[in-house]
Amino acid sequence: MPQIELEHVYKIFGRHADEALELLQRGVARDEVQEKTGAVGAVIDASFGVEQGEIFVVMGLSGSGKSTVVRTINRLFEPTAGTVRIDGENITEMGSKDLRRLRAEKISMVFQHFALFPHRTVLENAAWGLEVQKVESDERLRRAEESLDLVGLSGWGDSYPGQLSGGMQQRVGLARALATNADILLMDEAFSALDPLIRREMQDQLVDLQENLRKTIVFITHDLNEAMRLGDRIAMMKDGQIVQIGTGEEILSDPANEYVASFVSDVDRARVLTAEAVMEEPIAVVLKREGPSAAMREMRQRQVSGLFILGPGRKLIGATLDDEVIAAVRRGDLSLDNITHTEIPAVAPDTPLAELFMPSAESALPLPVVKDGKLLGVIPRVTLLAALARAETAPTDMKEIQIPSEEPESEGSETEPEGQSQEDHDDRTEAEVPHA
C-alpha cells in the first residue's frame, strides 16, 4: 500500500468552485472554465501513490499546480474534491485535532524560502515541531540538537537564522523537518532559492540522508536536472494536470507529449543517462575454464585485443590482453590464472554517464557494467563518446522550446559542469566531459 495516496484530487480557487468542479470533471478545459466561472482549477484530477522510502518528484512550470497539490497532502489546502490517504487513512475527513496530530507526527515540510522563525534561535527553530507537540524542554532541545548534527549544523544552535547563509538556513529548515521524526517529508522547491553550487551540495546531502533515513519524500522542483538527480519517480504537471508519471529514464526516453519533451530537452543528459542505458552486449568474453587457446581463438575471431574472463554464473573475474594470451599459449599454460588481471575498473548499472569517464580512461578495455559481481554489459569508449555527443547536441537542437524560468540558477545549472570543476569534489569526472 502506498504511504501517500491521492485519488482524483481537485483544488479550485475562487468562487463558484462547485460549478467549476462540475465543468472540469466533465472534461472542459481549464481556461474555458476560468472564463465561464472565474474559478481557477489549480489541481485537476490528480491521482498518484507514493511508496514508503521513495523520493517522488513533482515537476512542472510555474503555476502548474505543484505547490497546491503538495499542500493538499498535509491539508494546508483543503481539496475541493477527491481523497488523500496517508497510510490508508482518509485525511480529507479528519477533524482539526487529528489533523494537527497527523501534521505533528507524520508529515513535515520544508519551504522554498525557508520560512524560518526569525525571532527564534536556530535551535528553537529546529525544536518547533516538538514544541508544538509539547515535548518536554530537555528532550525537545536534545532532539533538535541531534537533527542539527544530522544536517551538519552542530554548534550553530544559538545563532539566529538571519546570521546564516542561504544554504545554512535551508539546512535549519531541513533540521526542523527532521526533528519530529515524521515519516513523510514534503519539500516545496526546497532548494530553488539556493545558488547552484550550494544547491548541488544540498541535493547530495539529501541523497545521503535519505540513504539512512528512508523517508517518504515528495519533492517539488521545476528543474529537471534536480528531478532526475533526486527522484525515484517523477510526476510531470501541466496546467493543473498530471501528464506523466515515471522514472527519470522513462520520462527521458519516452516523453508522453510535447510538453514533457520540451522539459526533457533541457536536461543535462550526461547526468541523467546511466551506464545501464548506454551499455552494450558483452561479446568479447571467455570462460575461465576454457583456457588460453580458447581465449586466443576468441580474440582472433572478434578482432579484439582484450577479453573479459567470466566464472560460473557470468561472474566477472577479470580481464586479459592479447600479448599475454599469446605468451601463455607459447608457454603451454593450461589455465588463464597467470594472466588474469583482477583489478580492472567496473561500474554499477545506475552510475550516471558523467561518472563513467574517469574509469573508462583508466583502461584500454571497454568498461564492464557489473551488478552483484555479474557482468551485465560493457561500454566501449566509442559508445560513451557517442552518447555524450547526443547529450551535448540535444539541448541546442531544441533551443526554441527551452523552458521559461524565472530563476537564473536553473539556467546556471546547464553550464555548471565546466564552472565547478575545481570546487565540486564528487563530480570530478564532469570536468572532462565537454572536451572529451
Partner 1 sequence: MPELPRIPLGDWVDSLVDWLTTNLTGFFEVISDMLAWSVGHLEDLLLLPPALVLTVLLALFAWWIRGRGFALFTLLAFALIESMNLWERSMSTLSLVLVASFIAVAIGLPVGIAAARNETVSTAVRPVLDFMQTMPAFVYLIPAIFFFGIGQVPGVVSTLVFSMPPAVRLTELGIRQVDEEVVEAGEAFGATPRQILTKVQIPLALPTIMAGVNQVIMLALSMVVIAGIVGAGGLGGAVFIAITRLNVGLGFEGGLAVVILAIFLDRVTSALSDRATLYEQTE
Ligand X SMILES: Nc1ncnc2c1ncn2[C@@H]1O[C@H](COP(=O)(O)OP(=O)(O)OP(=O)(O)O)[C@@H](O)[C@H]1O
Shortest separation between residue 188's beta carbon and Mg ion, angstroms = 6
Q: Which does 76 bind (CB under 5 to 8 A by kind): partner 1, ligand X, Mg ion, none?
A: partner 1
Output DSSP code: residue 402: P
Please report whether residue 225 would count as binding Mg ion according to CB under 5 A: no
Of residues 6 and 109, the one with the C-beta less far from partner 1: 109
Of residues 64 and 125, the one with the C-beta less far from ligand X: 64
- Report the Cα–Cα distance between both ends of the chain, in Å, rounded: 46
Q: Which residues neighbour 248 within 8 Å (Cβ) at sequence distance 6 or greater?
A: 227, 228, 231, 234, 272
Of residues 88 and 162, the one with the C-beta less far from partner 1: 162
**Spacing of C-alpha 382 from chain mean position:** 27
Q: Which does 239 bind (CB under 5 to 8 A by kind): Mg ion, ligand X, partner 1, none?
A: none
Of residues 105 and 322, the one with the C-beta less far from partner 1: 105
User: Are 194 and 409 spatial neighbours (Cβ–Cβ below 8 Å)?
Assistant: yes
**Spacing of C-alpha 74 from chain mean position:** 22
Q: Which does 344 bind (CB under 5 to 8 A by kind): partner 1, Mg ion, ligand X, none?
A: none
Q: Which does 105 bind (CB under 5 to 8 A by kind): ligand X, partner 1, Mg ion, none?
A: partner 1
Of residues 227 and 284, the one with the C-beta less far from ligand X: 227
Q: Which residues neighbour 183 within 8 Å (Cβ) at sequence distance 6 or greater?
A: 3, 52, 106, 107, 215, 216
Binding site for partner 1 (CB under 8 A): 74, 76, 99-105, 107-109, 111-113, 115-119, 128-129, 131-133, 160, 162-163, 176, 180, 186
User: Are 335 and 313 spatial neighbours (Cβ–Cβ below 8 Å)?
Assistant: no
Binding site for ligand X (CB under 6 A): 13, 40, 42, 60, 62-68, 222
Of residues 112 and 363, the one with the C-beta less far from Mg ion: 112
Of residues 170 and 413, the one with the C-beta less far from partner 1: 170
Q: Which does 60 bind (CB under 5 to 8 A by kind): partner 1, Mg ion, ligand X, none?
A: ligand X
Q: Which residues neighbour 418 within 8 Å (Cβ) at sequence distance 6 or greater?
A: 431, 434
Shortest separation between residue 3's beta carbon and ligand X, angstroms = 22
Dihedral sign (CA 222, 227, 230, 233): positive
Shortest separation between residue 79's beta carbon and ligand X, angstroms = 13
| Bridge partners of residue 218, in order along the sequence | 56, 186
Of residues 89 and 418, the one with the C-beta less far from partner 1: 89
Q: Which residues neighbour 274 within 8 Å (Cβ) at sequence distance 6 or greater?
A: 249, 349, 350, 351, 352, 353
Percent of residues in the chain assigned helix, strand, coil, to nearest 5: 45, 20, 35
Residue 124 has a CB neighbour count (10 Å cut-off) of 20
Q: Which does 116 bind (CB under 5 to 8 A by kind): ligand X, partner 1, Mg ion, none?
A: partner 1
- Residue 342 and residue 368: Cα distance in Å, rounded? 12
Of residues 25 and 165, the one with the C-beta less far from partner 1: 165
Rg of the chain (C-alpha set) = 26
Shortest separation between residue 121's beta carbon and partner 1, angstroms = 9
Q: Which does 108 bind (CB under 5 to 8 A by kind): Mg ion, partner 1, ligand X, none?
A: partner 1
Shortest separation between residue 405's beta carbon and ligand X, angstroms = 9
| 55-94 binders of Mg ion (CB under 5 A) | 67
Q: Which does 65 bind (CB under 5 to 8 A by kind): partner 1, Mg ion, ligand X, none?
A: ligand X
Q: Which residues neighbour 370 within 8 Å (Cβ) at sequence distance 6 or greater?
A: 316, 346, 347, 348, 376
List contacts with Mg ion (CB under 5 A). Answer: 67
